A and B are shown apart, each in its own frame.
Chain A
Amino acid sequence: MSEQDPKLLLQPAPLLQQGMTTPQAMKDVWIALAPATLFGIWHFGISSLLVIIATIVGAVVTEWAFTPAAKRQIVLSDWSGALTGLLLALTLPPGLPLWMAFLGGAVSTGLGKVMWGGLGNNLFNPALVGRAFLLATFPIAMTTWHGAPDGFFTIHASNLAMPLMQSATDAISQATPLGLMKFEQSATATGSLLLGTTTGSLGETSALLLLLGGIFLILRRDIDWRIPVAIFVTAALFSMIINSVDAMKYPAPLFTLFSGGMMLGALFMAPDPVTSPLTPKGAIIFGVGVGLLVVLIRVWGGLPEGMMYAILLMNAATPLIDRVTQPRVFGRAKSNGGAK
């Protein structure tokens, strides 16, 4: 079938070809993440770019090392390894030592993806596996938040710590909007949350640009719109209810939606096609679960941010959700629960 005759097209059955391939979907995500990433680099300075490079290098090197030589060309050319690194970097504090960022990239690809058999076989979102590992391993460095630096080219001293060593100088940590909410009950203005001029992880602050990227992905049908919508609706409703009980103590719905990793998680991590349910009904159950868990962890949990654990927990439930919500095969009798 290699010869192309313009008058008579002879080829086997699927005559209409869809442009949607894995490398194409990955490229779409890169495009969608670009505005928020560039904003993060502009806002947090050159050190955030260094962190991004370190995680991407960590992720790609690990993928390269653990892929059989014959498959490297295929596996590395779909951009998914580097995307894992970028997604991880966006959830890290900009002042993180670069060796930790590198380690995080290596762990997210190694433990989160390669070990399961590569792209498409992993149970958990690789980037979040890397972040969970880093948060459990280096709790202090992972919760030291730097604000915007003095100038664009200022590199935080903590970025340049030697491998295995702490950063020599004491970092000045600033509270994130979520930290302020949790420990001082003071809400940050929704405007600056939307624009992203707050402290936080280097790619999560600008809710508006992330939303823009998410809408692009939904329009390109790279992700299932039901998941982010279900997350937003559930989280907003839940926080509206608790906010109406005690407005001083609990965050308002808008704050819940635009603060922390909500946008990044709901639009770029939860709807990851590999780790979220395939069925429409399952997608909604998944989204509702994430939305409930986020607010639960943020309000009553020990940590200010709960997006990561909410998504990881629902990732674990995904195979079960998929099994329970399997649609009835056309023409077959209804079975109870659909699990049979």
Chain B
Amino acid sequence: MAKKLDSYEEMIKGLWRENPVFVQVLGMCPMLAVTNSAVNAVVMGVATFFVLVSSSFLVSSFRGVIPKQVRISIYVVIIATFVTVADYTLLALVPAIHKELGAFIPLIVANCMILGRQEAYASKNSVKFAVLDAIGTAGGFMFALLALGGVREILGEGKIFGVPLFGDNFEPWVIMILPPGGFITLGLILLFFNWVTARRAARNQLQPQPVGSDIR
């Protein structure tokens, strides 16, 4: 790396400018499947955060000795180890939510965002920056999950984290709890992000970059 890295910048970029969900459009499967309530979104976010930060740490520590030919399978083994830890921890601590999230906890292994960070960043940078990058990216992912889960729970049940907001007479938007609601909400949030990006680009006299054009 010729360029000098700024630790604050490396961490903060994942939250907004390179947000894994809203800008890179990665990790869509858990994004759509488990965000029907804010609590589920937070638990999923915490589990992913743990897995991503730990595996980035480990991959970055061993980046000198992992043979290039088999690196992907080694990353997956490392990720799967932490997913198993997260899986059993959640089962012990919050069995009800663990049951609700079901297969999506083991499926964190297949989250392309995590593998992507190992391949694109942790395997090439020092442990400090790898961990900072992982914290930023996982934070951005958690923010996205919470945004989606919050909107869907507020409209779908009239609650946030289980606390009623509108009183007894609230008419629930059934579609928001169902998968189409996830797609519609995510689409609208992406729309909003594109709009913000386009506006900012117009202000800076640059061409707007639509979502997905910079997927790595």
Contacts and interface: CB of A to CB of B under 8 A. Distances in A.
Contacts of A136: 174-175, 178, 180
Interface in B139-180: 158, 166-167, 169-171, 173-176, 178, 180
Interface stretch (A24-32, A69-77, A162-170): A162-170
A308 to B, nearest CB: 15
Contacts, number: 33
Contacts of B171: 97, 100, 138, 141, 161, 164-166
Interface size class of B (residues with CB under 8 A): 10 to 19
A139 interface: yes
Interface in A131-179: 133, 136-139, 141, 161-162, 164-166, 168
A59 B167 CA distance: 29
A34 interface: no
Contacts of A166: 169-171
Contact of B169 (A133, A138, A168): A168
Contact of A165 (B169, B180, B184): B169
A111 interface: yes
A138 B173 contact: yes
A97 B173 CA distance: 14
Contacts of B191: 115
Contacts of B170: 164-166
A137 B176 contact: yes
Contacts of B180: 136
Contacts of A97: 171
A304 to B, nearest CB: 18
B174 A139 contact: yes
A154 to B, nearest CB: 23
Contacts of B166: 164-165
Nearest to B173: A137
A136 B176 CA distance: 9
Contacts of A161: 171
- Give the interface centre of B171, B174, B178, B184 by most chain A CB atoms within 10 Å: B171
Contacts of A141: 171
A133 to B, nearest CB: 7
Contacts of A100: 171
Contacts of B167: 165
Contacts of A164: 158, 166, 170-171
Nearest to A133: B175
A32 B14 CA distance: 55
A164 B180 CA distance: 20
B169 to A, nearest CB: 4
Contacts of A162: 169
A166 B176 CA distance: 17
A137 B169 contact: no
- Give the interface centre of A100, A111, A137, A166 by most chain B CB atoms within 10 Å: A137
- Give the interface centre of B170, B175, B191 by most chain A CB atoms within 10 Å: B175
A311 B56 CA distance: 50
A161 B167 CA distance: 14
Contacts of A137: 173-176
A247 to B, nearest CB: 37
B139 to A, nearest CB: 30
Given A164-B166, A165-B169, A168-B169, A138 B174 contact: yes
A162 to B, nearest CB: 8
A111 B191 CA distance: 12
Contacts of A111: 184
Nearest to A100: B171
Contacts of B158: 164
Nearest to B171: A166
Contacts of B169: 162, 165-166, 168
Contacts of A133: 175
A164 B171 CA distance: 6
Contacts of A138: 171, 173-174
A163 to B, nearest CB: 9
A111 B181 CA distance: 13
Nearest to A138: B171
Given A115-B191, A164-B171, A166-B171, 17 more contacts: A97-B171, A111-B184, A133-B175, A136-B175, A136-B178, A136-B180, A137-B173, A137-B174, A138-B171, A141-B171, A161-B171, A164-B166, A164-B170, A165-B169, A165-B170, A165-B171, A166-B170
Interface of B: 158, 166-167, 169-171, 173-176, 178, 180, 184, 191
Closest 6 CB pairs of A and B: A136-B175, A137-B175, A166-B171, A165-B169, A137-B173, A166-B169
7 contacts: A115-B191, A136-B174, A137-B176, A138-B171, A165-B166, A165-B171, A166-B171
